[in-house]
Structure 1
Amino acid sequence: MKAILPTLPRRLLVLALAAASVGGAYAATTAPAPTATTPDVVADHIDTSVKPGDDFFEFANGAWLKAHPIPPEESQWGIGQVVQDELYAKLRKISEDAAATKNAAPGSDEQKIGDFWTTAMDQALADKLGITPLNGELARIDAVHDVNSALDEAFALQLLGVGPFFDFSVQQDEKQSDVMAVHLWQGGLGLPERDYYFNKEKGVAKVRDAYVEHLHRTFRMLGKSDAEAANSAKQVMALETALAKVSRPLADLRDPEKNYNKMAPADLTTKYTPAIAWNTRLAGWKLPASTVIVGQPEFFSGLQALLAKTPTPVIRDYMRAHLVDTYASYLSADFDNEHFDFYGHTLNGQAEQKPRWKRALRAENKALGMILGRIYVKDYFSEASKQRYNAMVEAIRTAYGERIDKLDWMSPATKAKAHEKLAAVTKKVGYPDKWKDYSKLTIGRTSYAQNMMNATRWQTEDMISKFGKPVDRNEWEMTPQTYNAYYNPSNNEIVLPAAQFMIPGFADNQIDDAVVYGYVAASTIGHEITHGFDDEGRQYDAKGNLVDWWTKEDAARFKQRADVMVKQFNAYEPLPSIHINGEASLGENIADFGGIMIGIDAFKKTEQYKKGEKIAGYTPMQRFFLGYALGWLSQEREEQLRTGLLSDVHAPAKWRVNGPLSNVPDFYEAFDVKQGQPMWRPENQRVKIW
């Protein structure tokens, strides 16, 4: 994906392409050479003052980045945000047209979109209502008087997308991919990731202090005196810090075997959380599960200890804070601005809020994404485009199969299993073949926050309803208008939404194959397929089950090669004293590298590569690498860079270009990279996996 993460299940399910870019458009025909008055899709971005072997990201993208500073309402700016603006313009028209529809049938797509948009854009109504849309839940929190009543409300809040104490989901059983299972996962934190509570870097320490002040101001807005609010903020921070202490670090959450602990709900109660009668609680959600999959049992033990010793007033304040932060963006300006001040400004560096209409569209996508998607693809994505990208997936699949055959470190037995899995990868391109039924979702004009609560409850109940039913392998976790892509290991599928194939300012036939193969085939399609064979995805078989299909020797050889990449990325230091987490980002880094290698193989079969003619002064292979770098064209504020380094499994955009390319022989040849240049590595120190 690119700049804004889509709404995904709270427990990690898919391996997405999250970053600051967007996929490109595939050229059906060879592009005409640019003239003096026609811009070139990659050459015009180049900063010729930088040598390719010194910093290829800056060489390929530097001129554009210098000419396009980050706008004050953004935390990052690049091709992903430019594409998002194009999408916003199209979605705004859809929304305004629906709002202008007279006598829209109740329950129709037009009524839901029109009422949502009208209410979301009504700042005066939101200001008039203030906190009142949350009064019902706040009253229930006020009634909490002991651990049992606290759990009553905690479980009720889960249905509204508020996650006090822990996260839960109903998803495929990792070891029985044809069965929907209840998953329980660590959670309950207000900061992005557990290390935010402990990292000593001064920027992180400032964020911690700012978070306490944010809580302080929030409690004041909820009616506490200044002294009471300050005390409440301090105690809530202490509770969350204790939760963080018993939480696993980010890198440890990527081991599917260690995060798969299947047990009976009664055993979870007896062994780990005596205060939570899980059978009874799950039955309240209409989940008569005989087993649950617990990600981190020690976290739930820690939670049990905290429930036993935390004063009830602190638990009430903790729940109030999480409820308000979840819905603040849909309330009056005072709550909205307070939420932005911390989560937008402090954490991500935005100087000011985005226009209300863009924020309304972001919420509308979250609440009614697939309804908007039906209209979007009808108006903006052709069947011909869908078939074009289906064909490109097959070209990459073929190239990957040939690369597997050539591996000198993998045994024939494991190669056979790898081929079986590759052949079974399902591709979903553009939009779902079957659209989700939203008929039971009620959207009206009572309040913006009420519509968001209705949508979130509907989504949660829809997820719960899947329990006990056959797995729907046709379902999508992203909307067609999302500029991102993902691999789902349990389905062994790659999903490529329609918006992924946009390049702003260019039509399909204006982009040559070289750029497209770097921009789409390598950075998106090849990347997602490689996720099925990265350090995490490789542990799932062709049917999506978590099972070991590798020989012991091959697994050891894979790890040895992957460890080289871990070491490389651990050495990168984007901010003083904050390095990239090579362990946490390993899967994405392997996928980037694998996507490039496979994309090169596929591109070498094209007519453009074989002819070898230059366009805008660059050879086909040079344009391939420039196309890849274009896919990560982005710059971000220091605050967001820090947030990503501590909480994201994706490396920053610059290192997603320079990191993998420093291991690619064709890159060295294309740009004559020499020993002594920053991107040069000795041949025996380069990553060699796929």
Structure 2
Amino acid sequence: MKLFSRLFLISLLISAPIVAYQAFAKATDKEIGFSINNMDSSLSPKNDFYNFAVGNWLKNAVIPDDKTRVDSFTEAFDQNSLKIQKIMEDAAAKSSKAPQGSVIQQVGDLYASGINTELINKLGITPLQPELAKIDAISSKEDLITLMAAQGFMGMPSVFGIFVMPDKKQSNINALYNLAFLVLGKDFYENPDYTDQRKAYLAHIAKMLELAGETPNNAQTQAQTIFELETSLAKAMLSPIEAADVNRTYNKMTVAQLQDKTPNINWNSYFSASGLANVKEMIVTDPDYLVTADKLLAERPLDDWKTYLRWQVLNVSGSTLSEDFFQEDFNFSKKIMLGLEKPLPRDQQIGEIVRNVLSHPTAQLFVEQYFPPATKAKAEEMVRNIKAEFKIRLEQNSWMSEATRKQALNKLDKMQIYVGYPEKWLDYSNVTIKRDDYFGNLIRLNQWQTRRNLDQLGKPVVDELFMGLSKPTEVNAGYNQVGNRIEIPAGILQPPFFDASMDDAVNYCTIGAVIAHEFTHGFDSNGRLFDADGNLKDWWKPEDAQKFEAKANQLVEQYNKYEVLPKLFVNGQLSLTENTADLGGITIAYSALQRQLTDQQRSTKIDG
């Protein structure tokens, strides 16, 4: 959630006034990123800066039926989607003649398989039958644990999952993590505001089970069983605020300790079914949840768990199956939960899926066509200027001791920033992509990605750039705490966020604020807990940490007072890291712009 203050306050590490963000006009050939037509100049910026800045845009903006919001991010996303759509269509037209495993073949054939609704509808639930048969064949809790691991490997996790990432306290070595898994999260099951949605969820589960062949009565009974299991798990799960505590979610255990705490889960069997051998330890993010899951595995009948696994397979896969499954999945997960009135057109849906699961192959084609070297060079210049401004802010900070300041400057100096795309693309060529096997394609890609991830266990960390939420086509940017690095994808270095030909004032207001936002994340209430090498390690003098927390609490209290809707207030604690980064981002970008204009000896401004 992005909210912007109209008050003057200290943005934690950097003391500066807060300025509201600038919304953007729909980009045209003549108007990219900024238009005074979006402003409401009839208002005084002293009294209502937000509506002064974007009042006319707010009056005229319309949210389409297939979106939950409109803003600069959705504008950039829509423009990128059109570009990616063209890439997909061109690749699909050429893929049958392209070499097997080539970028064109993989992107084109995966896209073609996804838009072939005639074949997908003809197959119905057939692609899931092998997995459902495996669930039917379970005869013991040992079988259950083994299949949970195997299906998690395919991208169908149940109850919890495992993954490999750098050890937060030894960031140069990869470690195994255990993550609690509930698709809808704790709040859904416990918040009284979700009573109607919970009723709809029960009906949705029953309907999906009916589509899979259950009778209406059996489907309703099984839906209740599934909901009871999930509710019991949710009660033990960390709250969102607790889960955001990086120290609380770091609980390293040996396999012996893990087995002692959860005697009903045979961890060696689970690891073996996941393709792992000689696992010695695992970092558990939510121990109480795992202990509760272990007890439920012992207490609840085997048939209840088989029912639950069937649901997980259906729930994860429903949107990839025939139209009846897809529509039911949309009605609950998108219409009821998000308020969408209709889905995106099929070609756009599949374009998004291909962009995500074949991220680097798609990005290669995107970068070739839409990210020229001049754009990358201009963005890198902005990064250098903003980093220099951040350094000045740290040097001039009035409340930080010299010892802590020295460590902060060292962390900033070591922070690596990557712009656009990786120097080396990830090679997907050994994944089999078939033009007539959409579901199978997705499973094989999931298995390949999981295998690559788990194979890193115990090995030195090798940074894989521009993955996940920072894919090169993403309208996003990210700061990686354990890598102490920032990634700014080519996807966000597009209008309305960025255009190399635009005035600096526009670019610093838009992408500049995003870049500075990511720098600030390195020093927010979570980022500050990691040192220059990305280790979860306290490098603050106690008195400085106390001052930081006092300032952070002021920010929490300020945001707690913002009423988004009647009687619905911002959770200042839960949104603290983003609010900190927003405030730091816009103020640092503004200062960097002023310094840039001074350096260029320019005084010309837009609209005063």
Structure 1 length-normalised TM = 0.81
Deviation at 1:39, TM superposition (A): 8.1
2:510 partner letter: Y
CA distance in 2, matches of 1:330, 1:375: 25
Tell me, yes or no, if the aligned pair for 1:22 and 1:501 is still in contact at 8 Å. Answer: no
SS of the residue aligned with 1:546?
A: coil
Structure 2 residue corresponding to 1:501, chosen from 493, 498, 503: 493
Show the counterpart of 2:476: 484
Whether 1:122 aligns to 2:113 is no
Amino acid in structure 2 at the alignment position of 1:139: A
The CA deviation at 1:515 is 2.3
Q: Using a 3 Å threshold, how does the CA distance of structure 1 residues 611 and 96 change in structure 2: closer, same or farther?
A: closer
Q: 2:516 is matched with which residue?
A: 526
Q: Is 2:535 the counterpart of 1:513? A: no
The 5 A counterparts of 1:581-596 are 581-596=571-586
- Contact 2:378 2:500 (8 Å CA) reproduced: no
Decide whether the 8 Å contact of 1:45 with 1:61 is kept in 2.
yes
Rounded to whole Å, the distance in 1 between the matches of 2:45 and 2:118 is: 53
CA distance in 2 between partners of 1:178 and 1:526 (Å): 26
Give the superposition deviation at 1:23: 11
Q: Is the 8 A contact 2:23 2:72 kept in 1?
A: no
The residue number in structure 2 matching 1:450 is 440
| C-alpha deviation, 1:126, in angstroms | 0.7
* Change over 3 Å in CA distance of 1:57–1:397 after alignment to 2: same
CA shift, 1:297, in A, is 1.1
Alpha-carbon contact 1:23-1:483 (below 8 Å) kept: no
Kept after mapping to 2: 8 A contact 1:160/1:456? yes
The SS at the match of 1:77 is: coil
Q: Aligned partners of 2:146, 2:48: CA distance in 1, in Å? A: 55
Question: How far does the alpha carbon of each residue in 1:278-326 deviate from its partner, in whole angstroms, 9 at most, with x for none?
Answer: 2342233333322111111111111111111122222122212221121
Cα pair 1:400 1:598 within 8 Å, conserved: yes
Query: Counterparts of 1:536 and 1:209 in 2: how far apart (Å)?
Result: 36
Deviations 1:564-610 (A, max 9, x none): 11111222232344322211111111111111222222122122797
Instruction: Give the Cα separation in 2 of the matches to 1:91 and 1:39.
Output: 20
Letter in 2 for 1:180: N
2:230 is the alignment partner of 1:236 = no
Does the 8 Å contact 1:604/1:610 carry over to 2? Answer: no
CA distance in 2, matches of 1:51, 1:448: 56
- Distance in 2, matches of 1:211 and 1:247, equals 19
What residue identity is the alignment partner of 1:332? Answer: S
| 1:372 alignment partner AA | T
For residues 284-683 of structure 1, the aligned pairs below 5 Å read 284-287=273-276, 288-477=278-467, 478-504=470-496, 507-509=499-501, 511-522=502-513, 524-607=514-597, 611-615=602-606, 617=607, 619=608
- After superposition, what is the alpha-carbon deviation per residue over 1:524-564, rounded to whole angstroms, capped at 9, x for unaligned? 11110111100001000000001000011111110000001
Give the 3-state SS of the residue equivalent to 2:223 in structure 1.
helix
Question: What amino acid is the match of 2:50?
Answer: F
Following superposition, which runs of at least 4 residues in structure 1 exceed 6 angstroms of deviation?
A: 21-24, 37-40
Tell me, what secondary structure is at the counterpart of 1:353? coil
Distance (Å, rounded) in 2 between the aligned partners of 1:38 and 1:22: 15
> Offset of 1:416 from its aligned partner?
0.2
SS at match of 1:508: coil
In the alignment, the residues of structure 2 paired with residue 570 and residue 505 of structure 1 have an alpha-carbon distance, to the nearest angstrom, of: 29
Instruction: State whether residues 566 and 583 of structure 1, in contact with CA within 8 Å, keep that contact through their aligned partners in structure 2.
Output: yes
Residues 430-488 of structure 1 show CA distances to partners (whole Å, capped at 9, x for unaligned) of 00011111122111033222111111111111111222332112432232111100000
Matches within 5 A, 1:127-166: 127-166=121-160
Distance 2:246 2:333 in 1: 30
**Structure 1 position 260 matched with structure 2 position 250:** yes
Query: What is the CA–CA distance in structure 2 between the aligned matches of 1:417 and 1:506, rounded to whole Å?
Result: 33
Aligned counterpart in structure 1 of residue 216 of structure 2, from 212, 222, 226: 226
Evaluate the alpha carbon distance shift between residue 505 and residue 408 of structure 1 in structure 2; reply closer, same or farther with a 3 A threshold.
Answer: closer
Whole-Å separation in 2 of the counterparts to 1:380 and 1:68: 27
Contact kept? 1:190, 1:240, Cα under 8 Å: no
Q: Aligned to 1:574, what secondary structure does the other structure show? A: strand
Q: Aligned-pair distance for 1:167?
A: 2.5
Tell me the amino acid that sits aligned with residue 111 of structure 1. Q
CA gap of 1:23–1:549, structure 2 versus 1, over 3 A, is: farther
Q: RCO (CA 8 Å, sep 6+): is it higher in 1 or 2? A: 1
Q: Which amino acid aligns with 1:285?
A: S
Counterpart mapping for 1:44-193 below 5 A: 44-101=37-94, 102-187=96-181, 189-191=182-184, 193=185
Q: Pick closer, same or farther for the CA change 1:117–1:205 going to 2, 3 Å.
A: same
Q: Secondary structure at the match of 1:444?
A: coil
Once residues 388 and 396 of structure 2 are traced to their aligned partners in structure 1, the CA distance between those partners, rounded to angstroms, is 13
CA displacement 1:207-264 (0-9 Å, x = unmatched): 1111111111111111111111111111111111111100000011111111111111
CA–CA separation in structure 1 for the residues paired with 2:299 and 2:490: 50
**Residues 40, 215 of structure 1: CA spacing in aligned structure 2 closer, same or farther, 3 A cutoff?**
closer
Q: Percent identity?
A: 35
Taking a change above 3 Å as real, the CA distance of residues 70 and 80 of structure 1, as seen in their structure-2 partners, is same
What is the number of equivalent residue pairs in this alignment?
Answer: 582
Larger mean CA deviation between 160-169 and 354-363 belongs to 160-169
1:299, 1:54 → 2: CA distance? 48
Verify the 8 A CA contact 1:22 1:484 in the aligned structure 2. no
Q: Within 2, Cα distance between the matches of 1:499 and 1:314?
A: 45
- Equivalent position amino acid for 1:149 in 2: D
The one of 274, 283, 293 equivalent to 2:263 is 274
- Structure 2: give runs of 5+ residues left out of the alignment: 3-20
